[in-house]
């Protein structure tokens, strides 16, 4: 490798990580601004959630087909057009005069942003020599893991300081810089330049769009509509299942499929995707639970809750380059992934022992440990998963891998929220059994409260409010236990991945 190339790989890293981070942050930055948008545009909560759903649906549809899009239109051109459209859509979102226009613009923003992650990952992998590709995964992983954590904190600060429209305007300078850098430094490899143009698989695109769209809408609305108690959710589930079944059947019969599912024949790739799905399921589950726990039960402000997540992001940033270095030194990627699952299970188990008297440092410590675990999870797992994937199939494989990761996070968010709600109802029904005059604990509490509050109604109200807090705390404990158990169950699957040969390490 020449000196020029050696320097260029870091310029390329900066070039592709900027738009990736911008897109990933945008998946969560809107969340904390929804109440402001809701009030400004005079819409209901259900309507407001479509601002999130429209983005996630279009994003999820594009991600798995980015490999095909990059080959068909040229990777550099596709990346530059995606950045330009994302930037323009962001600018337009900031000026959206109505709810409907904002939803449409968010849909366009998601279409543009969907390709940024997998294309950037494919470019990074190819830009580094094989012995340094663990470091490439570390660079990419910093954006993937830190982005969702940074989004809510950044979104809250921008909204409080300048208003919700600036969460979209902030993308404009980053997008312009990214567009310029891509045009200056990104080049298409020969296999893309020389690729023969193939017939567009319109049927495959349609089947995928229907299946993914139905699944993402289902996951975004299932908890609020009580899952399969709702005919809307049941219909979406049937559409998604049939859509994916038809899509898989169709794609396996095509000579030039829009998503090459034959890549799953490689055991390391298929196992790595399975572990990534469930791993991000658990990771996003805890990311959702922790801020809610702190703000609803512990009285933390949004800023303080963000401060608790901050050390985890910091340990991840520190840990990812170290994980990349360990891979370069020949440490078995599977052992690092196994170690990450052990640490993650331990950290989340610590969260499962939180109580209403937990102090600030007791909450920060497991989150910081989890940050280390995530750095040991993402980088080695990506390296092992792509170890036998050729450069020609890297765009396709990266699209699938990123799609599986995102869908895993969506499943984790939806199901963990459901576990929390159901367990809270369970604990309320159990604890309320003691809220009766025949209970010694009840009488003791009432005697203590009677010294301050003479009204029986006030005494009952205070006891019931405390009962709700206690049942919610126990529900959070159960939900954290659920995530910890998931990491434990994943441990044996790590060694189904083939040990990457040193000369094949991506």
Answer yes or no: is pLDDT of 504 > 60. no
The per-residue pLDDT for 2 is 38
Counting other chains too, the contacts that 202-206 makes at CB distance below 8 Å and 24 or more residues apart are 203/250, 204/247, 204/250, 204/251, 204/254, 204/257, 204/258, 204/259, 205/65, 205/258
> CA 117 to CA 133: how far, in whole Å?
17
| Model confidence at 346: pLDDT above 90 | yes
231's tokens: 């005919």
**268, 500 Cβ separation under 8 angstroms:** yes
Quick one: which H or E segment has residue 308? helix 302-328
In the predicted structure, residue 107 carries a pLDDT above the cut 50? yes
Statement: residue 327 has pLDDT above 50: yes
Condensed to tens digits (0 to 9), the pLDDT of residues 118-163 reads 788 778 777 776 666 667 777 777 777 667 667 766 777 777 778 7
pLDDT of residue 457: 67
Contact (Cβ atoms closer than 8 angstroms) between residue 354 and residue 308: no
pLDDT for the residue 459: 66
Question: Considering only CA atoms, which of 259, 263, 502, 262 is closest in space to residue 389?
Answer: 263
The rounded distance, in Å, linking the Cα atoms of 450 and 461 is 12
Quick check: 488 pLDDT over 80?
A: yes
pLDDT bracket for residue 341 (50, 70, 90): very high
Q: In the prediction, which pLDDT does 345 show? A: 92
Mind listing the pLDDT tens digit for each residue in 197-237? 666 777 888 888 888 888 888 887 777 787 888 888 899 89
Q: Which residues have CB under 8 Å from 171's CB, separation 6+? A: 22, 26, 86, 87, 90, 91
Tell me the two tokens of residue 501: 């040969």
pLDDT at 506 over 80: no
Residues above pLDDT 70, as percent of the chain: 83
Quote the CA–CA distance of 58 and 56 in Å, as a whole number. 6
The pTM is what?
0.75
User: Packing angle between helix 116-127 and helix 75-94, nearest 10 degrees?
Assistant: 140
| Placement of tokens 């049937």 in the chain | 238
Q: What is the pLDDT of residues 263-287, one digit of tens each?
A: 888 888 889 899 999 988 888 788 7
d(CA 343, CA 366): 10
User: CA nearest 400: which of 182, 501, 251?
Assistant: 251
Contact, 336 vs 344, CB < 8 A?
no
The whole-chain average pLDDT of the chain stands at 79
User: What was the pLDDT predicted at 198?
Assistant: 64
């Amino acid at each position: 490798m020449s000196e020029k190339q050696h320097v260029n790989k870091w310029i390329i890293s900066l070039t592709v990580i900027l738009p990736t981070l911008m897109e990933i942050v945008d998946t969560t930055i809107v969340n904390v601004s929804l109440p402001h948008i809701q009030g400004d545009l005079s819409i209901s909560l259900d309507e407001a959630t479509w601002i999130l759903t429209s983005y996630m649906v279009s994003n999820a549809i594009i991600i798995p087909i980015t490999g095909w899009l990059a080959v068909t239109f040229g990777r550099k051109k596709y990346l530059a057009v995606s950045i330009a459209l994302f930037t323009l859509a962001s600018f337009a979102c900031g000026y959206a005069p109505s709810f409907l226009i904002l939803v449409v613009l968010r849909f366009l923003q998601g279409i543009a942003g969907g390709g940024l992650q997998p294309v950037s990952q494919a470019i990074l992998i190819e830009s580094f020599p094989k012995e340094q590709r663990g470091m490439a995964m570390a660079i990419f992983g910093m954006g993937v893991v830190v982005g969702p954590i940074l989004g809510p904190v950044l979104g809250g600060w921008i909204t409080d300081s300048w208003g919700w429209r600036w969460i979209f305007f902030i993308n404009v300078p980053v997008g312009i810089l990214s567009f310029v850098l891509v045009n200056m430094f990104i080049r298409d490899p020969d296999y893309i330049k020389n690729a023969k143009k193939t017939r567009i698989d319109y049927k495959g695109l349609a089947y995928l769009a229907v299946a993914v769209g139905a699944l993402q809408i289902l996951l975004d609305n299932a908890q609020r509509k009580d899952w399969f108690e709702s005919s809307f959710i049941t219909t979406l589930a049937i559409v998604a299942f049939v859509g994916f079944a038809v899509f898989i059947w169709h794609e396996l019969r095509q000579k030039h499929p829009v998503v090459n599912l034959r890549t799953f024949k490689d055991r390391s790739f298929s196992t790595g995707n399975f572990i990534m799905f469930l791993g991000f399921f658990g990771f996003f589950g805890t990311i959702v639970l922790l801020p809610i726990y702190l703000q609803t039960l512990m009285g933390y402000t949004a800023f303080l809750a963000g401060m608790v997540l901050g050390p985890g992001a910091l340990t991840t940033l520190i840990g990812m380059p170290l994980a990349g270095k360990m891979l370069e030194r020949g440490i078995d990627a599977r052992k690092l992934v196994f170690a990450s699952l052990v640490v993650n299970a331990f950290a989340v188990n610590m969260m499962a022992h939180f109580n209403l008297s937990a102090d600030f440092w007791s909450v920060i410590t497991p989150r910081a440990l989890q940050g280390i675990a995530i750095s040991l999870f993402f980088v080695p797992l990506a390296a092992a998963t792509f170890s036998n994937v050729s450069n020609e199939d890297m765009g396709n494989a990266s699209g699938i891998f990123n799609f599986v990761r995102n869908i895993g996070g969506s499943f984790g968010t939806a199901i963990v929220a459901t576990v929390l709600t159901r367990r809270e109802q369970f604990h309320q029904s159990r604890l309320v059994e003691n809220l009766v005059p025949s209970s010694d604990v009840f009488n003791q509490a009432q005697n203590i409260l009677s010294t301050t509050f003479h009204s029986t109604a006030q005494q009952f109200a205070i006891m019931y409010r405390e009962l709700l807090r206690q049942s919610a705390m126990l529900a959070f404990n159960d939900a954290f236990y659920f995530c910890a158990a998931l990491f434990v169950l994943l441990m044996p699957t790590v060694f189904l991945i083939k040990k990457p040969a040193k000369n094949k390490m991506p």
